[in-house]
Structure 1
């Protein structure tokens, strides 16, 4: 059984993959100081609660954009699973796709893994939108080549910046405004919801429209990440949602490496 680990800036996602199918997944806040021992206590309990045997894990594959977290995740794999450890993008787990950008080594592992999975699932021109700490927009052509993209502040980062810089503004939840037909708020919280939520929707729609115009061919828009479904309910810009795109990509990389 495969343990796939996606270590992002905000959360680390762990998923068990059996015969190519994701059978369980968990997440924990990213903390580079968290040791392999701490991960093991937390994760072994969850695996047992889900009815699986940790001893069945024979391979661990890791993608991370947090270099300081990698060592402790490798300790987890070797010490507590006694498993073969694969790192996405490092031999023998080569990407297997063309990164058609001037500095391919700077492209985040999660974005490359998303591109691999998205092209495998939808072999056409694509725009992949991933809602994470940052919101990323990635272009993958019909041949599966990564062509570049956009990095924008995630909606939580935008809200944090607004609240921390304006002393009288309250903390609000990330959700659609109560009245989705009005963009004129009558209270401070209403106005914040409208500005943060609809402002973000407008950014997504505007950037995707500009990207499609530059691509010059029909492009399918694939969305992933924790907030994908929330935004999908309030815009028709997405063609398909793939909630587990990064984990699927890691599973595909594992299969290729075999």
Structure 2
């Protein structure tokens, strides 16, 4: 089975052989036209399951460029219930497919209450209780988006390349430290909802997750790609 996670910045993919990932990789979403070159190394005829938050034109490009080697791509859409996860969103179908896939992936790793955090272009922190109920979650700009917005929308603040400091004494460190405080603070405030549950922890995935993880004071586990895990788990249930 081949899983494809189409994000705003990157397209992540993996080839699952039934027990483990035999291949994994990524390319920039802006380079979606190269997906056919990448797919040349995938086993022909394998089932493809994907999720997309980058818009219909990107999806159409993938459909078109993979159609010669794969009969159809199954595109995950958020549902009321799947794989032991029940969707508590007011309008379940409006939950982002990537968040839904990550919740399904998380449920495959633990049956305890957890906070599912995807730290990419945006950072999402979603509450999954021990019974498999998605109780709700938050969305905030990701680390790089925060840094870029300060550089773009202020007259005198640069695109910072500073370091995290408890008491920053230069502008670069002040910006990086402030953005990291915002990420960590949002995650830890959301984790408070599950902190009292037995063996509760934060499952943390996404490109910015290692950078965030070193500053967390809550129990957490870094996950290589919960979204791909969720796509495969969903595909195996069908």
Distance 2:163 2:172 in 1: 12
Aligned twin of 1:73 = 62
Gaps in structure 2 of 5+ consecutive residues:
none
Bigger proportion of residues as helix: 1
CA 176–205 in structure 1, closer or farther in 2 if over 3 Å, else same: farther
Aligned twin of 2:138 = 150
Question: Any idea what the Cα deviations from partners look like across 1:46-73, whole Å, max 9, x if unmatched?
Answer: x3xxxxxx34452111111223122221
Aligned twin of 1:51 = none
Aligned twin of 1:240 = 221
Counterpart check, 1:39 vs 2:39: no
Distance 2:178 2:82 in 1: 39
Counterpart check, 1:29 vs 2:28: yes
CA 123–132 in structure 1, closer or farther in 2 if over 3 Å, else same: same
Question: 1:100-115 maps to which residues of 2 (within 5 A)?
Answer: 100-115=88-103
Aligned twin of 1:160 = 148
Counterpart check, 1:64 vs 2:52: yes
Question: How big is the shift at 1:110?
Answer: 0.9
Question: 1:80-95 maps to which residues of 2 (within 5 A)?
Answer: 81-89=69-77, 95=82
TM superposition score normalised by structure 2 = 0.87
Q: Secondary structure at the match of 2:67?
A: helix
CA 139–206 in structure 1, closer or farther in 2 if over 3 Å, else same: closer
Distance 2:178 2:25 in 1: 32
Distance 1:247 1:84 in 2: 18
Answer whether contact 1:3 1:57 (CA < 8 A) is retained.
no
Question: 1:1-258 maps to which residues of 2 (within 5 A)?
Answer: 2-31=1-30, 34-35=32-33, 38-44=34-40, 47=41, 54-68=42-56, 69-79=58-68, 81-89=69-77, 95-96=82-83, 97-173=85-161, 176-177=163-164, 180=165, 183-209=166-192, 211-212=193-194, 217-218=197-198, 219-257=200-238
Distance 1:248 1:6 in 2: 10
Question: Aligned pair count?
Answer: 234
CA 41–12 in structure 1, closer or farther in 2 if over 3 Å, else same: same
Distance 1:67 1:164 in 2: 24
Question: Any idea what the Cα deviations from partners look like across 1:128-183, whole Å, max 9, x if unmatched?
Answer: 1110111111111222222211111111111111111223222223x742xx4xx2
Question: How big is the shift at 1:203?
Answer: 3.1
RMSD value over aligned CA atoms? Answer: 2.4
Question: How big is the shift at 1:256?
Answer: 0.8
Answer whether contact 1:232 1:238 (CA < 8 A) is retained.
no
Answer whether contact 1:60 1:77 (CA < 8 A) is retained.
no
Answer whether contact 2:88 2:134 (CA < 8 A) is retained.
yes
Larger radius of gyration: 1
